[in-house]
């Protein structure tokens, strides 16, 4: 019988085990840094997959978790409630775009998107008008469960399941100089099939896993306007962009947009615990309210509204309220700009872009894309320099915790500059 190695015992996410290096044991985290078992420190320049907002081990969030764990660790959320969930729902509604009055809790970003899509489709059904067409942007990524994969772009993440995904209408990505084509595509689609379209789902301003692609707020505002004119539900997937990443609490704010449904996760607990939430307007919520039990929203998870996770999320919002978080965000944006300006002039760089604390350096590559051969080599090089960066193929992005300093960012950008000639 073959012996399974320690590296293969755990099946890891987004990992080709036939080509992976030995995973690095992490012993602790503090602020913007991780400490490995061998004593090395790594600058967590990607916020541990975009979840960590205020730094590892923030004492306020850690204390809130410990206190809640002593009181109530979990309870079924169907037919019961608890203070952390109620407090969090009120706090989310208070900071969210206007009109989002109801909060449905789930486990992560993908499940928040699943809930959003089911809400939109179910609301039309309960209204007695069967609208079943969902519209999404080219290059989108919304998660790895089947509904979320369906509204995501087809590519390496979805190819094995292509025949099992429901079809979606695609709008061209509103790249700089081509914004009008996106708006016109939606106009034509609504003119042709407006009575069939249930919802448009977008990642506001920044498409994350699609390559940190960025577009202007004016496009978002126009797409929202067209949806409102035709009664189409507008879903904002703020799983990655929410909680300050783009410079405002939510990216939609920069376009003056209030969606009908909004998905949040990742940074919601400050990076401590998994939690997702789908916020909805009263129009969506009321489509399910009935004395007919068959019209309930049949969706849920065993750990829905976990009290410890909710307490962490409330504590993270307290940090926003009581610490100068947006001053830190502004400083990070300025530091990004300073280093990106120099990188833009380098021969090996195809493009640089930034929105808030999210910066991306797109490197020239013969095999551009998520599976570019440059990605793994770059990742290993950055680790050797004490920086955790996980390129999206030939796109190197920096998305740090808000406690990061200019010196921390310089460590990351120095490594990026030195990697430009790596082949």
Catalogue the active-site residues.
14, 141, 237, 266
DSSP 151: T
Is 117:235 a contact under the CB 8 Å cutoff? Answer: yes
Q: In sequence order, which residues have a C-beta less than 8 Å from that of residue 267 and are 6 or more positions away? A: 47, 50, 51, 52, 53, 242, 243, 244, 245, 316
How far apart are the C-alpha atoms of 92 and 85, rounded to whole Å? 10
Taking each helix axis as running N to C, give the angle between helix 374-384 and helix 406-419, from 0 to 180 degrees, rounded to the nearest 10. 130
Selection from 31, 411, 47, 45 nearest residue 241 by Cα: 47
User: Considering Cα of 301, then 306, then 312, then 318, what sign does the dihedral take?
Assistant: positive
How far apart are the C-alpha atoms of 208 and 214, rounded to whole Å? 9
Selection from 121, 83, 118, 94 nearest residue 104 by Cα: 118
Long-range Cβ pairs for the range 332-340 (8 Å, 24+): 332/357, 332/400, 332/402, 332/404, 332/409, 333/247, 333/357, 335/406, 335/409, 335/410, 336/398, 336/409, 339/409, 339/410, 339/413
In 323-405, alpha helices (H): 325-343, 374-384
């Amino acid at each position: 019988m073959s012996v399974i190695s320690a590296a293969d015992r755990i099946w890891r996410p987004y990992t080709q085990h036939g080509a992976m290096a030995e995973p690095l044991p992490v012993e602790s985290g503090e602020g913007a840094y991780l400490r490995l078992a061998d004593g090395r420190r790594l600058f967590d320049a990607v916020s541990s997959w975009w979840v960590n907002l205020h730094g590892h081990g923030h004492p306020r969030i850690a204390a809130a978790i410990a206190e809640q764990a002593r009181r109530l660790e979990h309870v079924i959320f169907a037919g019961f409630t608890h203070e952390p969930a109620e407090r969090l729902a009120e706090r989310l509604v208070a900071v969210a775009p206007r009109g989002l009055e109801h909060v449905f809790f789930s486990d992560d970003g993908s499940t928040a998107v699943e809930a959003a899509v089911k809400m939109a489709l179910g609301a039309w059904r309960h209204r007695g008008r069967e609208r079943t067409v969902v519209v999404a942007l080219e290059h989108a990524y919304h998660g790895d469960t089947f509904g979320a994969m369906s509204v995501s772009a087809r590519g390496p993440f979805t190819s094995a399941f292509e025949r099992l995904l429901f079809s979606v209408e695609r709008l061209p990505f509103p790249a700089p100089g081509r914004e009008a084509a996106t708006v016109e595509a939606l106009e034509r689609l609504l003119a042709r099939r407006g009575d069939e379209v249930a919802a448009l789902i977008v990642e506001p301003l920044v498409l994350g896993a699609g390559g940190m692609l960025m577009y202007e707020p004016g496009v978002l505002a126009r797409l929202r306007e067209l949806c409102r004119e035709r009664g189409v539900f507008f879903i904002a997937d703020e799983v990655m962009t929410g909680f300050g990443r783009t410079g405002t609490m939510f990216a939609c704010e920069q376009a003056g947009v209030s969606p009908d449904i909004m998905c949040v996760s990742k940074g919601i607990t400050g990076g401590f615990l998994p939690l997702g939430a789908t916020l909805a307007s009263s129009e969506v919520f009321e489509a399910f309210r009935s004395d007919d039990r068959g019209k309930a929203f049949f969706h849920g998870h065993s750990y829905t509204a976990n009290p410890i996770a909710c307490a962490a999320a409330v504590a993270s919002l307290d940090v926003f309220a009581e610490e100068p978080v947006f001053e830190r965000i502004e400083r990070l944006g300025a530091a990004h700009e300073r280093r990106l300006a120099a990188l833009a002039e380098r021969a090996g760089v195809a493009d640089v872009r930034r929105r808030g604390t999210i910066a991306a350096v797109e490197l020239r590559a013969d095999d551009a894309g998520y599976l570019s051969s440059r990605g793994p080599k770059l990742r290993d090089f950055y680790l050797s320099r004490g920086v955790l960066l996980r390129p999206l193929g030939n796109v190197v992005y920096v998305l740090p915790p808000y406690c990061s300093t200019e010196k921390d960012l310089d460590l990351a950008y120095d490594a990026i500059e030195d990697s430009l000639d790596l082949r």
